[in-house]
Every structure is written in C-alpha cells, then in structure tokens.
Amino acid sequence: RPQARFVVTLDISARLMDDLLHGNLDLIIAGSPGYSIPEAEIRPVAQETLHAVVRAGHPLLKSSSTTNDLAKARWMLPAPRRIMRRWIEDALHELGLPPPRIALETDSTLALLNPMLRDSDLVGVMTRRMLASPAGSGLRALDRLIPSRSDVLVAMWRRDSYLSPLIIDFRDAVLQAEG
C-alpha cells in the first residue's frame, strides 16, 4: 500500500492505554495491564522477560553479595505506574526487602538513560531483548539476586471503534506473527 501512512508513538504503556481509550490512537502494543478493560479488546502477542540490570563489574555481581546488599542499592526506575517499576517493587517485597531506594525516576524510555547505568552503581531494569541489543552493551542481568520475570505484550484496540482496513491488516499480521 504505497499511500499508507503510519505514525509510531513510543511511550509508557499507561499513557498509550490512556491515548487509546481517549481515541487518540487506533491500536497499541504494550505491556499487559493485568486486568480487563471493558472498552478494549486485548490480545497477547509476545512474551518478554524483564531483568534487573547493573554495569559489568558492579559489586552486586560478586558471588558474595546478598539480598541485604541489594536492599542498600540505589535504583534508576520508571515512574510508579509502569509495569517494570511495579515488578521491581513486588519482587523486592517478595524477597522481604524494603521498596527500592530511587536515585533517578523517569517517564522516558529507559534505553535513553542506559549510559548512566554503565557509568554508575545504579541498578536498573530492562527487557531481555534490550539487554541483548546494543542498548544493553556493558550491562549484566542481576538474576542471581532478583529473579527475572516473564511478562506478556498485548495488542489492544477499542471495541466499538472504526479500524481502517490497513490497521486491521496490521493488527492481524501482528497477532499471526506471534500466534
């Protein structure tokens, strides 16, 4: 379709969902909200694994480090409404640890701030795919102290709204690619 035009918006899942439900977006691919939304169709499209990450050579990577050391760490995390942030808070709670000590909180994509992780002792969070990409260069998963988590990415669209044939074809292709 040579005349087709897409606008790709990168943002946190919560804002994408708000924009979708307010009619500003036709279709989103985002982290699963973990609950049903009556106005939206939600279909799984992929599994993603989340990891706590640190720079290569970080003290928490030593075999002698413990969850007590993790409790003292400072974190670079997404805003509280983000799925990645909730996962870290829940994981620390399950380990019997206090909430993360936030040094830097951001609403932007964490990939833009990865150089800060590489140049500091902060702990961050990223997906397996991001960690394996150039954005994850110099970073290591901290799975020994805080187990990774699998998350579901979903395609979401408003139930009772018009979707153009192009959007329907794109949605169906995304659903088929992972199904």
pTM of this prediction?
A: 0.75
For the CA atoms of 87, 90, 95, 96, the dihedral, rounded to the nearest 10 degrees, stands at: 150
Query: What is the tens place of the pLDDT at every residue in 23-69?
Result: 999 999 988 887 889 999 999 998 889 999 999 999 999 999 999 99
Q: Of residues 111 and 65, which shows the higher confidence score? A: 65
- Does pLDDT of 179 surpass 60? no
Q: What is the pLDDT of residue 158?
A: 96
Rg (CA), the chain: 18
* CA-based nearest residue to 122, from 160, 166, 162, 72: 72
The C-alpha atoms of residue 94 and residue 76 are separated, in whole angstroms, by 20
- Residue 44: both structure tokens together: 């799984």
